[in-house]
Amino acid sequence: MPFDTATSYRPGARFGPAAIRTGSRRQNTEWGHDLSWGVNPYLSLKVQDCGDIPLSPYDNALAVDQIETAYTTLISRPVNSSVSRTAHLARDAVEHPRIIALGGDHTIVWPILRSLHKVYGPISVIHFDAHIDTWPNLDGGFSEQSRVTHGTFFTLAYEEGLMSNTSIHAGIRTKVQGPQIIDHDEQVGFELLHANDLDDFGTDYIVEQIRERVGNSPVYLSFDIDTIDPGQAPGTGTPEPAGWTSRETKRILRGLTGLNLVGADIVEVAPAYDNADTTSIIAAGLVDDFLALLVLEEPPQARASKHRRGKHTVL
Ligand SMILES: [Mn+2]
Domains delineated in the chain: 13-302 (3.40.800.10)
pLDDT band (50, 70, 90) for residue 315: very low
Give the span between the Cα atoms of 113 and 123, in whole angstroms.
Answer: 8
% of the chain residues with pLDDT over 90:
85
First to last CA, the chain: 37
Distance 194 CA to ligand 1 centre (A): 13
226 assigned to a ligand binding site: yes
| Mean pLDDT score, 229-256 | 98
Model confidence at 86, in pLDDT bands (50, 70, 90)?
A: low
The answer to whether 106 is a known ligand-binding residue is yes
Backbone angles phi, psi at 29, to 5 degrees: -65, -45
Give backbone dihedrals phi and psi of 283, rounded to 5 degrees, phi first: -60, -45
Instruction: Compute the distance from residue 18 Cα to the ligand 1 centre, in Å.
Output: 20
Query: Is residue 129 part of an annotated ligand binding site?
Result: yes
Q: What is the pLDDT of residues 163-192, one digit of tens each?
A: 999 999 999 999 999 999 999 999 999 999
**Which protein residues have their CB within 5 A of the ion that is ligand 1?**
129-131, 224, 226
Cα–Cα dist 149/107, whole Å: 6
Quickly state the pLDDT bin for 128 (edges 50, 70, 90). very high
Give the pLDDT confidence score for residue 247 in this predicted structure. Answer: 97
Answer whether residue 314 shows pLDDT above 90: no
Q: Model confidence over 222-231: pLDDT tens digits? A: 999 999 999 9
Instruction: Give the mean model confidence (pLDDT) for residues 7-30.
Output: 96
| 174 CA to centre of ligand 1 in angstroms | 8
Q: What is the pLDDT of residue 302?
A: 75
State whether residue 74 is helix, strand or coil. Answer: helix
The CA-CA-CA angle for residues 53, 59, 62, to 5°, reads: 55
Annotated binding residue at 133? yes
Say yes or no to pLDDT of 312 above 80: no
What local confidence, expressed as pLDDT, does residue 304 receive?
73
Region 127-133: mean pLDDT is: 98
pLDDT in the model for residue 206: 98
297 C-beta neighbours (distance < 10 Å), count:
8
Report DSSP state, residue 108.
G
- What is the Å distance from ligand 1's center to 226 Cα? 5
| CA–centroid distance, residue 254 to ligand 1 (Å) | 22
**Would the annotation count 150 as a binding residue?**
no
